Structure 1
Amino acid sequence: MGYKVAVVGATGNVGREMMQTMFERKFPADEVIALASHRSVGKEVSYGDDQILKCQDLATFDFKGTDIVLSSPGASVSAEFSPKAAAAGAVVVDNTSHFRMDPDVPLVVPEVNPEAIAGYKKKGIIANPNCSTIQMLVALKPLHDLATIKRVVVATYQSVSGGGKAAMDELFNQTKGVYVNQSAEENRKVFTKQIAFNVIPHIDKFMDDGMTKEEWKMVVETKKILDANIEVCASCVRVPVFIGHSEMVNVEFVKGISEDEARNVLREAPGVTVIDHHKDGGYVTPAECAGEDAVFVSRIRKDPTVKNGLNFWCVSDNLRKGAALNTVQIAEILASDYLGK
């Protein structure tokens, strides 16, 4: 007997990727329901190769009898409907930012803290972390287990798909416009500056201390998921790439760790693929990671300026491991270890 699963935000980039990922991984679902806003009611979305689902109205949907809800509609919508779904008896795996720092809601990366899923019983909700946090922690977890991390300094290079379809359209239209002498301002609605042929050191809202909310998320989510004692300094940058986030990570450890030790433990770590050849092209870029499930780690090397320091580069498809795949992995553990159908 399988599960009745509802996907909230089914017409969005992440919602579509969730359904594709469920199908590819043969998630034990007897019924999958696509939910979206009233504007998208009746719109068709694909589940797998040959199944077409028609979107139903989230606002009027009765969640009674639904086992699992995979939710990615935006934080304000999730704030309203995720508790409603949980009250009706479903367990919600929520991909938005709204519930992440709620002390009664587990924040989970399955390769890092799968045991936290048990905390879903408090509110019936499990939170999916920020995309940039997920890929970094998948790589940091085995290193932390080996040598204990004191401090992380990370610079991210995040693709526009993290801002949704409108952001991807903006990059496409601005890039096209450059070749016909069209001003980028004519195609600028999402970003604060031109994104085509440019980089923007600003993701999400600015906070009082000058940090952006995206940077703050990486700090507080790392502490909640991995270790509250780890200090994190993040700088998050939007780059003109459609899919795939990249990060240059500098780590200071309590104990000494060699490049080979780091490389070997990462090679054995779940969810990590090491491609690290110190020569031209011996690393992974966003162009190669799109459509892949792994977090790819390259350019592992010592930091000679700090005791027990190490640098590495990591890239991952932010729509898959950074969102949809992580959500489905949580649901898989929930189904197999807790719900027991």
Structure 2
Amino acid sequence: MGYKIAVVGATGNVGREMLNILAERQFPVDEIVALASRKSQGTEVSFGDTTLKTKDLDTFDFTGWDIALFAVGSTATKQYAPKAAAAGCVVIDNSSLYRYDPEIPLIVPEVNPQDVHQYKNKNIIANPNCSTAQMVVALKPLHDRAKIKRVVVSTYQSVSGSGKDAIDELWNQTKGMYVPGQEVEPKVYTKQIAFNVIPHIDVFMDSGDTKEEWKMIAETKKIVDPAIKVTATCVRVPVFVGHSESINIEFEEFLDEDEARDILRESPGLMVIDKREDGGYVTPIECVGDFATFISRIRQDVTVENGLNLWCVSDNLRKGAALNAVQIAELLGREVLKKG
């Protein structure tokens, strides 16, 4: 006996990826529906070997459906997620709307699976920000061993994190660099993204941090440990898919780099590729389409008493969004609903 699954926002990048991953991981589905806005009604999307036609989200009745994976913005989520939850359908939401609600669990299954039972508070589970998700998978096993005091992270985030229009903007600006008269002015971003990097993701806050940087701080505390101090600098780079992070960690006690490497190798969701030679590390283009979060460049930081550096790369449309949501659904099925 399987589940009745709704994918909300099925025509977007993350929604399509959710459908792909549900099929790839052979999630026990009895029935599945693809939902989108009225203007996208009838659009065809793939679920394994099956083609689905999207239905209108506005008129859909969630009664009798088990799980809804939401891949729409906060505005639409605010309107439709409570309706789905009230109808008895558990919502797994990819937007930022519910992440900081103390009554709603924010889940990365490799890190805090025990929190999934809190879904009963509002029948909603939040999916973390893409940059946070991959980082905390790496932090948690190290924190369990040596207790993390402070994290300094710099991100190198792909344009797919901003949606299809951003992907098109990078592509068109890149082509325009080689064709006189076809230069493309920035619309999605504040400055040219092709052959450039932009130290600005989301809106600026009074503190000087951007909202993306604040998200990494707040979400790491909620998911891993509120005592961890985090400072972040988030940068958009001209990469289509795959987020990279340079992470500096300060521990309460000494952790040798070799032991850290062994711990990470044995931890769920991680793949360590760390050879001290040319090409002995993973770059974003190599992680596209993969389930794993990749760790490279593990080394001591001798500038602090108990410091470690590492390089972390993951497919942001997968672990940073769709994969994590599906893993939450799998966890919910195993631990709570127990139908599959």
> What is the CA-CA distance between 1:189 and the residue it aligns to?
1.3
Partners in 2 of 1:228 and 1:92 — Cα distance? 25
Task: State the percentage of identical aligned residues.
Answer: 67
Structure 1 SS opposite 2:212: helix
Name the CA shift for 1:189/1:224 in 2 (closer, same or farther; >3 Å): same
Residues 188-222 of structure 1: CA deviation (Å, up to 9, x unaligned): 21001000000000000101111000000000000
Structure 2 SS opposite 1:315: strand
Correspondence for 1:323 among 308, 311, 321: 321
Residues 96-138 of structure 1: CA deviation (Å, up to 9, x unaligned): 1000000110000000000000000000000000000000000
Alignment of 1:224-303 (within 5 A): 224-303=222-301
Partners in 2 of 1:208 and 1:280 — Cα distance? 42
Partners in 2 of 1:183 and 1:263 — Cα distance? 48
> What is the CA-CA distance between 1:265 and the residue it aligns to?
0.3
**Alignment partner, residue 3 of structure 1:** 3
Partners in 1 of 2:302 and 2:337 — Cα distance? 49
> What is the CA-CA distance between 1:340 and the residue it aligns to?
2.0
> What is the CA-CA distance between 1:181 and the residue it aligns to?
2.5
What's the TM-score once normalised by structure 1's chain length? 0.98
Partners in 2 of 1:79 and 1:105 — Cα distance? 14
> What is the CA-CA distance between 1:183 and the residue it aligns to?
6.1
The one-letter amino acid paired with 1:103 is P
What's the TM-score once normalised by structure 2's chain length? 0.99
* Number of corresponding residues: 339
Partners in 2 of 1:182 and 1:93 — Cα distance? 46
**Alignment partner, residue 196 of structure 2:** 198
**Alignment partner, residue 108 of structure 2:** 109
Alignment of 1:74-93 (within 5 A): 74-93=73-92
Does 1:154 pair with 2:162?
Answer: no
Structure 2 SS opposite 1:249: strand
Q: What is the root-mean-square deviation of aligned Cα atoms in Å?
A: 0.8
Structure 2 SS opposite 1:156: strand
Partners in 2 of 1:9 and 1:107 — Cα distance? 20
Partners in 2 of 1:166 and 1:204 — Cα distance? 15
Partners in 1 of 2:24 and 2:304 — Cα distance? 44
Partners in 1 of 2:66 and 2:50 — Cα distance? 21
**Alignment partner, residue 19 of structure 2:** 19
**Alignment partner, residue 118 of structure 1:** 117
Partners in 2 of 1:59 and 1:16 — Cα distance? 19
The one-letter amino acid paired with 1:25 is R
Residues 19-64 of structure 1: CA deviation (Å, up to 9, x unaligned): 000001010111110000111000000001x200000111111111
> What is the CA-CA distance between 1:292 and the residue it aligns to?
0.5
Structure 2's unaligned 5+ residue stretches are none
Residues 234-257 of structure 1: CA deviation (Å, up to 9, x unaligned): 000000000000000000000001
Does 1:335 pair with 2:333?
Answer: yes
Structure 1's unaligned 5+ residue stretches are none
